[in-house]
Amino acid sequence: MKHIKFLTLTVLALILAACGSAPATATATQVPTVVADKTIIAEGKLEPIHYTELALNASGLVSEVLFAEGDKVAAGDVIARLDASEAQTLESAQAKAAQELTTAYQEVRDAQFKLDNFDVPSDFNGMTPSESVKAMLVKLDKARADFEPYKNLSDRSLEQTEAEKNSGVVKGTAKIYKKALDDAWAHYRKAILWLELESTLQNSNSRLILAQRDYDALQDPSFSADTAGTRAALANAEVRAPFPGVITDLSLKVGEFAASGNPVITVADNSQWVVKTTDLTEIDVVKVKEGQPVTVTLDALPGIELKGNVFSVSQNFSENQGDVVYEVTILLTDLDPAMRWGMTAVVNFAE
């Protein structure tokens, strides 16, 4: 019994001691702020800034191949020549273009002379040729309607109207309307002729513009890209480089037949490089703007970071594994001699 009482007193003492002491204060631990990573990452492919696939504009046997894959070419360099009866070299195309230009100038002179010497009737004053045609057609339609009730009278009857006093009023009226109709037809034909002369001059001027364009393109000493298309179409016995670059693909061999329209040569300007993204989603593309700085890492060169800027953002979309994606073109400002067309790139867009 004494043992039990002692235990009870001990428990009470402990309770009272607990109640009388100050509560312990827990030390607060500060939670660090988590900053969300705003970097957008996309994959892409490395490409030269400018490249083109060249096709032949005529079919024939390949007579010359003057360069090989990997060779550098300048704008206007002849890469290959064809032996084809319907094809012409640059020199023959230039001669033909000069003759065409001379003929076109003569046509314009002749057409202008005929138009200047056309006797414009006073009824056409203040009108253009097309306006005169419309106006004379209105008069012609009225004259035809006026003559309609009398059209079944023969020409002989009209000639006898003065002698036939009994029916003189009717036949006299018919003769007046017939004369008005003939005059209306004459004026209408005159207006048509005026319009034809103006149309001939316009067509001649159009031919002259085209002839001048072809002539200038074939005579262009700089072989600029602006004239390359015309030059390739007219001097179709030759394949020329449209701009300075490197031949990355060449599938022509001397003595083999080559068909027109098939790409046979690829020329690339690798003085600068771009990366085109392949998986930038619609969620991320709205955060990308032209001129935005980026960093690019090539899988083949993992230890090198290349700087660049967003050059363009496509307005069109494609699908990649069920996602809507947009192509963004990155213009690289850093270069590396080990860079090759088609390398896989990782692009980091920093917001």
Give a yes or no: residue 26 inside a domain. Answer: no
Give a yes or no: residue 98 inside a domain. Answer: no
**How many separate domains does the chain show?**
2
Q: Which residues contact 86 (CB under 8 A, 6 or more apart)?
A: 58
Q: Which residues contact 323 (CB under 8 A, 6 or more apart)?
A: 279, 281, 282
| Residues 334, 248 share a domain | yes
Give a yes or no: residue 237 inside a domain. Answer: no
CA angle at 190 for the pair 188 and 191, rounded to the nearest 5°:
65
Say how far apart CA 223 and CA 48 lie, in whole Å.
Answer: 21
> Residue 129 is part of which domain span?
105-214
Please report, to the nearest 10 degrees, the dihedral formed by the alpha carbons of residues 172, 176, 179, 180 taken in order: -160
| Residues 250, 339 share a domain | yes
DSSP of 276-336: EES-EEHHHHTT--TT-EEEEEETTEEEEEEEEEEEEEEEEEEEETTEEEEEEEEEES---
The pLDDT of residue 137: 96
Give a yes or no: residue 253 inside a domain. Answer: yes
- Among 214, 231, 255, where does a domain finish? 214
| Residues 126, 49 share a domain | no
Give a yes or no: residue 93 inside a domain. Answer: no
The pLDDT of residue 116: 95
The pLDDT of residue 85: 83
| Residues 193, 126 share a domain | yes
Give a yes or no: residue 23 inside a domain. Answer: no
pLDDT tens-digit readout, 170-211: 667 888 999 999 999 999 999 999 999 999 999 999 999 999
- What mean pLDDT do residues 128-150 have? 94
pLDDT over 70 at 32, yes or no: no
Q: Which residues contact 52 (CB under 8 A, 6 or more apart)?
A: 242, 243, 266, 267
| Residues 254, 314 share a domain | yes
Short-list 57, 50, 44, 84, CA closest to 266:
50
| Residues 329, 253 share a domain | yes
- What mean pLDDT do residues 261-274 have? 94
Say how far apart CA 180 and CA 275 lie, in whole Å.
Answer: 77
Q: Are 44 and 277 in contact (CB under 8 A)?
A: yes
Alpha helices by DSSP H, listed for the chain, are 2-20, 90-116, 129-147, 155-159, 168-219, 225-234, 282-285
Other Cβ atoms within 10 Å of 182 Cβ, number: 12
Short-list 308, 319, 331, CA closest to 278:
319
Q: Judge if pTM exceeds 0.75.
A: no
- What mean pLDDT do residues 101-128 have? 95
Q: Are 48 and 329 in contact (CB under 8 A)?
A: no
Instruction: Tell me, rounded to whole angstroms, the distance of Cα 293 from its chain centroid.
Output: 28
Higher pLDDT, 32 or 312: 312
Q: Rounded to whole angstroms, what are the CA distances from 32 to 27, 29, 35, 38, 273?
A: 16, 9, 9, 18, 42
- Among 214, 236, 271, where does a domain finish? 214
The pLDDT of residue 112: 97
Q: Are 51 and 273 in contact (CB under 8 A)?
A: no
Give a yes or no: residue 43 inside a domain. Answer: yes
Report the mean per-residue pLDDT for the chain: 86
Look up the CATH number of the domain holding residue 347.
2.40.30.170
| Residues 125, 69 share a domain | no
- Among 176, 195, 214, where does a domain finish? 214
| Residues 129, 206 share a domain | yes
| Residues 343, 314 share a domain | yes
Say how far apart CA 4 and CA 9 lie, in whole Å.
Answer: 9
Q: What is the SS3 assignment for 231?
A: helix
Short-list 310, 267, 239, CA closest to 82:
239
| Residues 271, 331 share a domain | yes
Give a yes or no: residue 280 inside a domain. Answer: yes
| Residues 151, 61 share a domain | no
| Residues 132, 71 share a domain | no
pLDDT over 80 at 266, yes or no: yes
pLDDT over 60 at 9, yes or no: no
Say how far apart CA 42 and CA 278 lie, in whole Å.
Answer: 7
